[in-house]
Structure 1
Amino acid sequence: MRTVKTTVTHLLLAGIGFVWIYPFLWMISASFKSQAEFFENRLGLIPKSPTIENVIRIWNKADFGTYFINTIIVTVFSVLIVLVMTMMAGYAMGRYKFRGRNMCMAVFLGSIAIPLVSTIIPTYEVVKSMGLVGTKPGLILSQAGGAHVIFLLLFTSFFESVPNELEEAAKIDGCNFFQTFFHVMMPLCKPVATTVVIMETIWAWNAFMLPLVLTLNNPASRTLAVGLYAFKGENTVDWTGIAAGGTIAVIPVVILFIFMQKHFVEGIAGAVKS
């Protein structure tokens, strides 16, 4: 009975897992189908005549190579800014009991309830006043300029759990505030920093609304998510092009998570445990 129960459980979980990843597998399969085969065999996962024509077409004719490079640039710099910003803020919030600390934390936590859509117009006006609308620096600053409360809480929780003896030993050795932070605290928070890098990379890579609004007047600065939207016309939809573009956009993030999932889990577990 135990063997039967285990087998049934595994089969049930395998079925749920297949349903869960079916859209992803369908997207990859559709990217290797011709337009005719796509409409003949919409739900099939195995192309009868695989072709890379869709990938070549969107990469060359739809300027997807430019979108890919733009996405890499925006993602890398926004991740660096968010990492440094939240790490230093988390260090201050977690290690020092200054006046107004609780008020600052309450403001940060309250910002979680603010929808992203409601901040688009103020963000656009700020970027416009800086003369950066339609530029990659404008995209980077708008993407990295949010509160990023989750990352702040991760760093705050971690730094609160660090023993005070480490800071005291650093002070005895002659380290000032910044030397203690860079040489003592930063190496310790590597698991949490890795978690922040992974999560922010996924969010920045897949960002759509802000890049769409900020690049309406300059298609050359579009990212992958906005570039995919261009395949949807008023009366027609290039499904195979969207599938090929989605595959190109998703694969780097999947590879990143596969290679760094161990550090991601360690960072979340360490922050929650502390």
Structure 2
Amino acid sequence: MTLTEARVPTSRSAEAPRPRRRRRPWSVRRIVTLVLLVGMTLLWIYPFIWLLSASLKQSSEIFGSGLNLIPETFHWENYARAWTEAGFAQYFVNTVIITAGAIVIVVVRSALAGYVLGRYSFPGKKILIGIFLVTFFLPEGYTIIPVTQLTDQLGLLNTHAGVILGLGAGGHIASTLLYAGFFRGLPKELEESAKLDGAGAFRTFFQVMLPLSWPITATVIILTFLAAWNAYLLPLVFTLSNPELQTLAIGMTSFVSDYGQDWSGMAAGAVISLVPVVIVFVILQKKFVDSIAGAVKQ
């Protein structure tokens, strides 16, 4: 038997048993902390449970049943009414197209700008970052008029492309700075190795640097998805002359009329709008947490 074979166990039974972790005793402090956390969790998720319950009730039952979350009769037709009669089927497709296009633009543009800011030094860099930070605090309402005029001059008003550019071609300073901070911390040897292999600047970025920034990309996707999916003012202004291009956020107003509000239909529409948000966050939440934890460590 060689020395290498002697060091490697031949079976799992030869491995030393792992010591079992001792369970911490249930102290009063631990019990109180657990009760408080459970209470806060229930308080946080209660609005979502109430919304789901309201979507299965009649409008008269929503506010007349008090704290009772279980409907007397499950009215699944509320979802059918929201999907067909209120036009949520078309609103959903429009929102998916607009959100996906905005995500692609924001990820590519923010990653490229963040790569330049994080890896290169050039005159006026600090001034440029300062301008970015100033525009970060500008409300959307202050820029909606020039953005609308520019989109109209390009002939993209009342089109999917116009709404996508309006949502994706803005400042998005937070996304750019997230990428800049990440790329700044990467070692220079990565670029030097890619250069020795004959890769140019764009090939190095797309094949080496961008794949490494997947945690940041996941965060940017989540932030952009939430902003584009829930956007109201810009899609409303850009689709005034073509209601068929309106999104889910605008479609919620279809349940409000001069004669009253369809609360059950509105609740069903809100649930339909929230389901994709929950799915995207569940898929990308691990990378999102990792990127936040990395930013805290830095």
Which TM-score band applies after superposition, normalised by the shorter structure?
over 0.9
Aligned equivalent of 1:223: 247
**1:197 alignment partner AA:** I
Count of residue pairs brought into register by the alignment: 274
1:11 aligns to what? 35
Tell whether the 8 Å contact from 1:31 to 1:247 is kept in structure 2 after alignment: yes
Opposite residue 202 of structure 1, the aligned amino acid is: L
Higher Rg: 2
Q: Which residue of 2 aligns with 1:62?
A: 86
Please name the residue that 1:112 is paired with. 136
Matches within 5 A, 1:1-274: 3-41=27-65, 43-274=67-298
CA–CA distance in structure 2, aligned partners of residues 84 and 64 of structure 1? 30
**Cα displacement string for residues 164-220 of structure 1 (whole angstroms, at most 9, x for unaligned residues):** 111112112221111111121112111111111111111111111111121122110
**TM superposition shift of 1:2:** 6.6
- Which amino acid in structure 2 is aligned with residue 146 of structure 1? G
TM-score relative to the length of structure 1? 0.95
Whole-angstrom distance in 2 between the partners of 1:233 and 1:133: 27
Partner Cα separation in structure 1 for residue 126 and residue 178 of structure 2: 16
What does the per-residue CA deviation read over 1:104-146, in whole Å, with 9 as the maximum and x for residues that have no partner? 1111111112111111111111112122222111110000011
Separation (CA, whole Å) in 2 of partners of 1:164 and 1:171:
11
Please identify which structure carries the higher helix content: 1
Q: Hey, what does 2:10 align to over in structure 1?
A: none
Whole-angstrom CA distance in 1 between matches of 2:55 and 2:212: 43
> What is the distance in 1 between the residues matched to 2:207 and 2:253?
45
Give the C-alpha shift of residue 16 in structure 1. Answer: 2.1
Q: Aligned in 2, Cα 1:266/1:62: closer, same or farther, shift over 3 Å?
A: same
Letter in 1 for 2:35: L
Equivalent-residue separation in structure 2 for 1:118 and 1:149 (angstroms): 17
User: What letter matches 1:88 in structure 2?
Assistant: L
* SS across alignment from 2:198: coil
Higher mean alpha-carbon deviation, 225-234 vs 155-164, is at 225-234
Paired AA for residue 182 in structure 2: F
What code does the residue aligned with 1:19 have? L
Structure 1 runs (4+) greater than 6 angstroms displaced: none
* Amino acid in the other structure paired with 1:251: V
Letter in 2 for 1:208: Y
| Residue identity (%) | 45
SS of 1:252's equivalent? Answer: helix
How many Å separate the matches in 2 of 1:39 and 1:270? 45
CA apart distance, 1:230: 2.3
Any idea what SS the aligned residue of 2:256 has? coil
Where in structure 2 are there 5+ consecutive unaligned residues? 1-24
SS in 2 for 1:54: helix
* Residue in 1 that maps onto 2:9: none
TM-score (norm 2): 0.88
* TM-aligned CA distance change 1:238 to 1:46, over 3 Å: same
Partner of 2:14: none
1:70 aligned partner, one-letter code: N
